[in-house]
């Protein structure tokens, strides 16, 4: 399920195969949580059925993103007492929700994803989404997203976000046969992500690059 992985020999970010189709995005990256020097966020964890509400910052007409009940994408401790960090968290959350909504809707050209991505980020996201849609699979089950750490850079228009996911109860489902597949037993279900975001002229924090490291965090 890992979105993008950076192998130890790769020079650029690459989109991985879809969850559980051959390799499950388990490339090793050169990133670590120590690279994220922001303040750790913290709040009460939502229930599995709770849906995050979209950002309500004024003046921005945001897309409405809906996920099917068959795939529960939950964001745990996704809060910060710092308003600027919270704005980054809000938009990063909606970008991830938009990506999985595009997979479940079989829509690699999703306008909602494009809204939350820069040009280069959009290219990465489309490759990731097509790694599912080209193979006629979707995602089902549960995917917790947790332990976010945000750092705002000095220019005020660039941010770094690290977070973890737990794929233990996430699966792919073949659209034609209905067959579901889970991670191999030997594969670590925890994946660490490092995202670079850039603030658009509209004030939207957009994903610019994403890389991941399987086994880079634990829950």
Question: Of 13-22, 44-53, 147-156, where does mean pLDDT reach its minimum?
Answer: 13-22
Structure confidence by residue, pLDDT tens digits, 67-89: 999 999 999 999 999 999 999 99
Query: Are the C-beta atoms of 218 and 190 separated by less than 8 Å?
Result: yes
Q: Is the pLDDT of residue 123 over 90?
A: yes
- Per the structure block, which two tokens stand in for 182? 């889970």
Q: What does the domain layout of the chain look like in residue ranges?
A: 4-214
User: With bands split at pLDDT 50, 70 and 90, how would you rate the model's confidence at 20?
Assistant: very low
Strand partners, 14: 5
Measured distance CA(98)–CA(79) in Å, rounded: 19
- Per the structure block, which two tokens stand in for 191? 């994946």
Structure confidence by residue, pLDDT tens digits, 170-200: 999 999 999 999 989 999 999 999 999 999 9
Measured distance CA(202)–CA(99) in Å, rounded: 20
User: What is the model's pLDDT at position 166?
Assistant: 95
More confident residue, 51 or 87: 87
Question: Of 8-17, 84-93, 187-196, 210-219, where does mean pLDDT reach its minimum?
Answer: 8-17
Structure confidence by residue, pLDDT tens digits, 88-121: 999 999 999 999 999 999 999 999 999 999 999 9
Strand partners, 214: 191
Q: 4-214: what fold?
A: Nuclear Transport Factor 2; Chain: A, (3.10.450)
Q: Give residue for tokens 């610019």.
A: 208
User: What is the model's pLDDT at position 125?
Assistant: 96
> Rounded mean pLDDT of the chain?
80
User: What is the model's pLDDT at position 7?
Assistant: 32
User: With bands split at pLDDT 50, 70 and 90, how would you rate the model's confidence at 66?
Assistant: very high
In order, the DSSP letters of 165-179 are EE-TTEEEEETTT--
User: What is the model's pLDDT at position 218?
Assistant: 62
């Amino acid at each position: 399920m890992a979105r993008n992985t950076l192998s130890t020999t790769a020079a650029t970010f690459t989109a991985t195969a879809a969850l559980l189709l051959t390799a499950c995005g388990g490339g090793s990256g050169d990133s670590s949580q120590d690279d994220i020097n922001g303040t750790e966020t913290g709040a009460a964890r939502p229930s599995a059925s709770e849906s995050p509400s979209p950002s309500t910052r004024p003046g921005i007409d945001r897309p409405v993103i809906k996920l099917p009940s068959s795939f529960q994408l939950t964001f745990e401790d996704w809060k910060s007492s710092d308003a600027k960090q919270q704005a980054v968290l809000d938009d990063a959350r909606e970008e991830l929700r938009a990506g999985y909504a595009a997979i479940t809707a079989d829509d690699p050209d999703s306008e909602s994803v494009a809204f939350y991505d820069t040009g280069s980020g959009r290219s990465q996201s489309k490759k990731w989404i097509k790694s599912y849609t080209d193979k006629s699979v979707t995602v089902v089950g549960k995917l917790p997203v947790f332990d976010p750490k945000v750092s705002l850079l000095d220019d005020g228009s660039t941010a770094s976000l690290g977070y973890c996911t737990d794929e233990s109860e996430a699966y792919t489902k073949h659209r034609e046969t209905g067959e579901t597949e889970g991670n191999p037993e030997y594969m670590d279900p925890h994946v660490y992500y490092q995202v670079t975001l850039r603030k658009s002229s509209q004030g939207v924090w957009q994903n610019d690059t994403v890389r991941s490291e399987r086994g880079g965090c634990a829950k």
